[in-house]
Structure formats: C-alpha cells, structure tokens
Homo-oligomer: A and B are copies of this chain.
Amino acid sequence: MKTHPLKLVTIIGEAVLADRLLREIRKLGAKGHTLTTVEGQGSRGVRASEWEGKNVKIETLVSEEVADAILHVLSEHYFANFAVVAYVHDVGVVRGEKYV
C-alpha cells in the first residue's frame, strides 16, 4: 500500500491555549487537526507546578516545510511563556498528497 510521507506534529499545552494554537497552525499551513484532552505533568523544570491538570494534545499532518514553520513559531513565541511541548515524527499517510 503506497502511502505519502508526511510529518505528524504533536503539540501539548494548557487547554486555555487550544484556540490560539489551532489558529496559529492553520495560519502556517495545517489543513486539519485532531485535539485530544489529556492530563499531564510538565517536564519543564520551574513550570512543572503550574502545569498539572487538563491539557490538550493537538496533532496535525503536514509537509516538512509546514512542520518546520510550526515548530519555529512555537519555539520563538510560546516556549518562553507557556508550558508547551512539541515534537514531530515521520508517518506514511493514505492519500496524503491531499494534505499538502
């Protein structure tokens, strides 16, 4: 089965950030997402105590370029001020050419 290589970008942050993060990724080229309510405890040192309870996990399938743009914006504009976690990995997507 031929799949299309894409990046799955995962962003985990406080639930209150969800709408803002979703607007951000859309603006940067994400065509869709899934959002999961999760519980979490942070690994960000001094922020750990602030970050227990409901968080959201946002996942989006994007091209490498869009993944780069999303991670860059998160790193520049979110990591200093919010307990955000972001990571990326390669996936093979059925009919993935529609996502780019």
Residues of A within 8 A of B (CB): 1, 3, 6, 8, 10, 12, 30-45, 48, 55, 57, 61, 67-69, 71-72, 74-75, 79, 85-96, 98-99
Contacts and interface: CB of A to CB of B under 8 A. Distances in A.
A55 B33 CA distance: 11
Given A1-B68, A1-B75, A35-B38, 19 more contacts: A1-B69, A8-B87, A30-B43, A32-B48, A32-B85, A35-B39, A35-B40, A36-B37, A36-B38, A36-B57, A43-B98, A43-B99, A44-B98, A45-B98, A61-B85, A74-B94, A75-B94, A87-B96, A89-B92
Report how many copies the assembly holds.
3
A97 to B, nearest CB: 12
13 contacts: A3-B71, A6-B87, A8-B87, A33-B40, A34-B38, A36-B39, A44-B98, A45-B98, A85-B93, A85-B94, A87-B93, A88-B92, A89-B90
